Amino acid sequence: MAPGSNPPPNSDDGRGGELWSRTESLFLAALEIPENARARFLDGACGGDARLRAEVESLLAFDHGEEDLQAKFHTAAASIVDNDLIVGQRAGAYQIIDELGRGGMGTVYRAIRADDEYRKQVAIKLVNRGMDTDATLERFRQERQILANLDHPYIARLLDGGSIGGQPFFVMELVEGKPIDRYCREQDLPPEAICRLFLRVCEGVEHAHHNLIVHRDLKPGNILVTDAGIPKLLDFGVAKLLTSESHAATTLTHFAQRQMTPAYASPEQFRGLPATVSTDVYALAAILYELLTGVRAHQLSPDRPDHWERIICSDQVARPRTANRKLPRDLETIVLMGLRKEADRRYPSVEQFAADIRRYLERRPVEARTDTVPYRAARFIRRNWLAVLAGGAVFVALSGGIVVSALEVRRANRAQGALRAESQRTRAERDRAVQAEQEAEQERNRAVAERERANTEAGSAKAIVEFLRDDLLEQANPVRQSGTDMTVRAALDRAAERIQGKFADRPLVEAAIRTTMGESYFALSRFTEAQQQFQHATDLFRTHNGPRHRTTLSSMTSVAAALRAQGKLAEAERIYTAVLEVQLPTLTVRDPETLTTMGNLAVVYANQQKYSQAEALNLQVLATQRSLMGPEHLDTLRTMNNLGVNYTRQGKYDQAEDIYRRILEVRRRTQGPEHPTTLFTMTNLGAVYVAKKSNPDEAERLFLDALQGQRKILGSENRDTMLTLNNLGTLWLSEGRAVEAEKVLAESLDLRLRVLGDRHPDTLTSMTALGESLFRQSRFAEAEVRLRQAVNGFEKSGSDTWIRRMALVFLGASLSGQKRYQEAEPLILAGREGLVEKQATISASSRYLIDQSAAWIADLYQDWGKTELAAEWRQRSIGH
Amino acid sequence: MECEPITALLQQIADGDQEALNRLIPLVYGELKRVAGGFLRGERPAHTLQPTALVHEAYAKLLHQDQRSYKNRAHFLAVASSLMRQILIDHARAHRASKRGSGQVKVSLDQACASAVDRPAVMIALSDALDALERQDRAKARLVEMRYFGGLTLQESAEVSGTSVESVRHSLRVAQAFLHRELARQEDAK
């Protein structure tokens, strides 16, 4: 109800008094009724009296509670009394002119330096009357010290200090500006401009953090923006020095911990736990939320402080897009990532928060991820394991790089947004239509998924969340477990024990929880346990929903995914086949789930080297997609890509080349030359050339172009970018350009170590290739270090591919090069044996290694003086 | 001792003498400043003090005797609260007039603390809203006055108005919604 739309009822109106008393009693009665039921209540209670009803409704709209009005009033009253006392007085060399602001402990006045010929205006902060306790004074001194340490254009500067009547004061740069929320509102800034302004605020906070200072009370009122658009951080009154360990500091911290603004307080701060940089990240995210949506992240009612803890510490923050439909999805994801309840799941620093906002502004994919219920359960997981579960086929490019198809779709979703601006400028009308269609499609898919989630979660969400929170996550909570090292794994194990029998009367809730736990185990790479949970869930779904219900089938595919991850491909194949047997007749083949199952089955076939079956299945899916979705649909292209991978593995390089060329042509045209999937296809095509040992110049050009685009669009620390780097290095290696290869391989390894860790197959692949490049330069000792690291890594990760054997061969050869024959012999022999064993999987370009390793073994024996063995191996190296 | 004329003045005000109010204001405010000034100069033991406590303190000093000796305590408190409101408003107006002439300035109650807030304007806006409430419902306006300006607790307010704490709470809730609405209207009108 708009304020002022009704004239206030007047008491000299004949029935004014009666109207008022009825208004009053209905207002009070309505307050006792939940908000969503009030309209119905008023329908009955007001009868047809429109005026009465409008009056009651307008009062209800302004029912903000008592506290804030009275507090504002008292602050104003104190200010007026103070004003007469303090204004006009001298504080050292400064003459106080008027009051600027008032906080709990201190008040800031405008002043001028009386002896300064420029009569420059400054801000003076004084401790409030009656607040000059020892603790306050100590805080005051500390604030002054903190400000003295900070020197940044976006932080109000400390100029001077002194005392008046025994009370300390300090003098700061006077900031003539407006609180950032008001500034944004009045300037009516669009989201992008808000982001740019906000990035400056982040810079100021970063500067404080670099000086080991946490602000702890960031809020719009403490960030003023000048007319020139420069933000200034104010009020470090409750800031904390992260290093201060003195007794005084400890007690001060304790005192200051209670000083905060609940509307922007993180759960840990609200609970009185020590503040970290994460506390400021949270407050910044809460501010950004408010700037972008116009509403607060936490809606705290002043007269229900007993609800605050629940709202701040447990309630899910409303999605920003519910308040501002036009807000870009990526920004929403970024804000929510900063507002996560658990400090360790927010951006680890303000820099990274800012970097993601910058990525958004530069139309690059952001790193923030949406928080989902299963995701919350598996909170320590950084990788997109869900994509693995979601199924889809696996792409292999050159030396074992694996990308999951669902990832590609997700990436495309994001990249589409990223490329939108560019497309509007440069692309033809037609391309835009294609894009719009794709977006609409994605939107539809999202809507379906949303609805589905709502359906399955509606009844059981509460129970599930409670179980996960109380029985699972709470146990893994580092705070609760202080001292003992409770791993997620242990928490899951305990939860797995506790779930038994707990939901005897609600089997579907149990199934949902077991599914989530299975996903968590899966995310932790505990595939056996994951499989058990999924299996249990499947049994429950089967008993209660029936064997042909989609929940049952979906759960079965999860079991299959867990089996696949354990390498139990035959069992996985059996399950996928069983699911398809139900899906094919009951659902149309167009159904995305059916097609996904078929795609998954094709991958299982391919991984069992059943290439012809995989090929047949992929062709079937492809035919369906071509006729129903069109030859240029994203799903169609994805299946073509899978087929290309299949051909590559089979060594059918011409067919692979042909299919990749077609994909590339379509993607360049419909998605744009810099679309991530276009770039990815370039890498795959280049990889085929390398494997085929043909068109090295074309391959190099593809890799270099892809790399340039990927660095720009995706950044360096992206799996595609790293894969292209690795492929480029491998190409140069095969051309004998070992020095150049070493450079890119070293970079690829460095990035993969950082992003993927030291056990990931991709990392180990780069490590092996780098070792080879060193070996090729006869830098045997250095090569040995890298290769040994790779061999150990393979050992620990349990990964057993031909690349592991190749690493052994090169390690042996590097030792042999250092004349350490005895050490070299067993390694190189084992390596070669493995290569022979895995011959079928080795890419064509690397098959030469089988003969080559025999020659190296012959060399080894020759140099060692074992001529007989040398001759025998020489024979093999030629005769193979 | 000043208590004698002040007590007398209060009694005259209670008897309906408006002129007495004008004579009383400077006396009360002078005392209030003296009390507050003591804190500033560190003459008082340091302890947390709210504005309402300051008001109480000033009255206690002014009256220098037990309030219960008044015949009509409720009336006294109402008058004292009203007096305090008048004092604060006068000063707010004077302050604004000296600072920027008499023009009306738009005031938002959401303005944050750290920026330059025109507190006298906040005070005046509240008082205007309270005037509107008084025209509508005198009893509730008095109640707000007692709570805000007189610094009475809920319990005291209930005693004074002869009702229950619950009833006071209800009345305040209605009154506050009214005030909020009135403040929004004032702002829109500007």
* pLDDT reported for residue A409: 29
Tell me the range of A183-187, A407-411, A470-474, B61-65 where mean pLDDT is highest.
Answer: A183-187
ipTM associated with this complex: 0.72
A546-555, A845-854, A866-875, B46-55: segment of lowest average pLDDT: B46-55
Kindly tell me if the per-residue pLDDT of A428 is higher than 70.
Answer: no
Kindly tell me if the per-residue pLDDT of A827 is higher than 90.
Answer: yes
* Distance from C-alpha of B42 to C-alpha of B49, rounded to nearest angstrom: 13
Q: Which residue of B has its CA nearest to A237?
A: B114
- pLDDT tens for residues A453-485? 444 443 444 455 555 545 554 444 333 333 333
Burial of A594 (0-12, 13-18, 19+ CB in 10 A): buried
Asked whether the beta carbons of B9 and B24 are under 8 A apart, the reply is yes
CB contact (8 A) between residue A66 and residue B52 = no
Beta bridge partners of A397: A401
CB contact (8 A) between residue A79 and residue B119 = yes
* pLDDT reported for residue B98: 56
Mean pLDDT of A28-44: 85
* Distance from C-alpha of A20 to C-alpha of A52, rounded to nearest angstrom: 8
Burial of A255 (0-12, 13-18, 19+ CB in 10 A): middle
Q: Which residue has the tokens 């030859």?
A: A631
* pLDDT reported for residue A442: 59
Beta bridge partners of A876: none
SS3 A498: helix
CB contact (8 A) between residue B91 and residue A80 = yes
Residue type, A711: R
CB contact (8 A) between residue B181 and residue A222 = no
- B190 to chain A, closest Cα gap in Å: 12
Question: Which tokens in the block code for residue A386?
Answer: 């869900």
* Distance from C-alpha of A528 to C-alpha of A492, rounded to nearest angstrom: 13
CB contact (8 A) between residue B178 and residue A62 = yes
* pLDDT reported for residue A657: 93
Across the A/B interface, how many CB contacts are shorter than 8 Å?
180
Contacts of A477 (CB under 8 A, 6+ apart): none
Q: Please choose, from the candidates A74, A126, A68, A137, the residue with its C-alpha nearest in 3D space to the C-alpha of residue A100.
A: A126
A36 DSSP assignment = G
Neighbours of A296 (CB within 10 A): 18
* pLDDT reported for residue A839: 81
Which residue among B47, B126, B177 sits closest to A62, beta carbon to beta carbon?
Answer: B177
Kindly tell me if the per-residue pLDDT of B156 is higher than 90.
Answer: no
* Distance from C-alpha of A269 to C-alpha of A238, rounded to nearest angstrom: 12
Interface test with B, best of A63, A80, A102 (most B CBs within 10 A): A80
Per-chain mean pLDDT for chain A? 76
A276-285, A613-622, A750-759: segment of lowest average pLDDT: A750-759
- pLDDT tens for residues A519-576? 767 766 677 888 999 999 999 989 888 888 878 888 998 999 888 877 788 899 999 9
Q: Predicted confidence band at A427 (pLDDT cuts at 50, 70, 90)?
A: very low
Q: Predicted confidence band at A810 (pLDDT cuts at 50, 70, 90)?
A: very high
Kindly tell me if the per-residue pLDDT of A629 is higher than 80.
Answer: no
CB contact (8 A) between residue B137 and residue A20 = yes
Cα A290 to the center of its chain, rounded Å: 21
Name the residue with higher pLDDT: A587 or A475: A587
Element (H, E) at A536: helix A527-545
- pLDDT tens for residues A90-137? 777 788 887 777 666 677 888 888 776 666 788 888 876 656 667 777
Kindly tell me if the per-residue pLDDT of A306 is higher than 50.
Answer: yes
SS3 A756: helix
Neighbours of A822 (CB within 10 A): 9
Neighbours of A849 (CB within 10 A): 19
Which residue among A64, A84, A219 sits closest to B180, beta carbon to beta carbon?
Answer: A64
- B68 to chain A, closest Cα gap in Å: 26
- pLDDT tens for residues A199-216? 999 999 988 888 778 888
Check if A248 contacts B (Cβ < 8 Å): no
A92 DSSP assignment = T
- pLDDT tens for residues A664-673? 999 898 878 8
Kindly tell me if the per-residue pLDDT of A493 is higher than 80.
Answer: no
Q: Which residue has the tokens 């899966």?
A: A522
Q: Which residue has the tokens 């208590």?
A: B3
Percent of chain A beyond pLDDT 70? 75
Neighbours of A387 (CB within 10 A): 18
* Distance from C-alpha of B72 to C-alpha of B74, rounded to nearest angstrom: 5
CB contact (8 A) between residue B122 and residue A182 = no
Q: Which residue of B has its CA nearest to A222?
A: B114
Chain A from 89 to 148: CB within 8 A of any B CB: 98-103, 108, 110, 129-133
CB contact (8 A) between residue B123 and residue A76 = yes
Q: Please choose, from the candidates A219, A90, A89, A217, the residue with its C-alpha nearest in 3D space to the C-alpha of residue A143.
A: A217
* Distance from C-alpha of A870 to C-alpha of A814, rounded to nearest angstrom: 18
Asked whether the beta carbons of B37 and B48 are under 8 A apart, the reply is no
Which residue among B39, B40, B174 sits closest to A24, beta carbon to beta carbon?
Answer: B174
Mean pLDDT of A592-621: 83
Q: Please choose, from the candidates A301, A289, A313, A217, the residue with its C-alpha nearest in 3D space to the C-alpha of residue A256.
A: A217
SS3 A165: coil
Q: Which residue of A has its CA nearest to B91?
A: A80
State how far the alpha carbon of A819 is from the alpha carbons of A94, A809, B142, in Å: 82, 15, 102
Tell me the range of A371-380, A707-716, A784-793 where mean pLDDT is highest.
Answer: A784-793
* Distance from C-alpha of B101 to C-alpha of B121, rounded to nearest angstrom: 13
* pLDDT reported for residue A382: 25
Check if A222 contacts B (Cβ < 8 Å): yes
Asked whether the beta carbons of A351 and A281 are under 8 A apart, the reply is no
A796-805, B59-68, B79-88: segment of lowest average pLDDT: B59-68
Q: Please choose, from the candidates A303, A312, A310, A211, the residue with its C-alpha nearest in 3D space to the C-alpha of residue A260.
A: A312
Contacts of A690 (CB under 8 A, 6+ apart): A398, A696, A699, A727, A730, A731, A734, A845
* Distance from C-alpha of A660 to C-alpha of A640, rounded to nearest angstrom: 8
- A141 to chain B, closest Cα gap in Å: 17
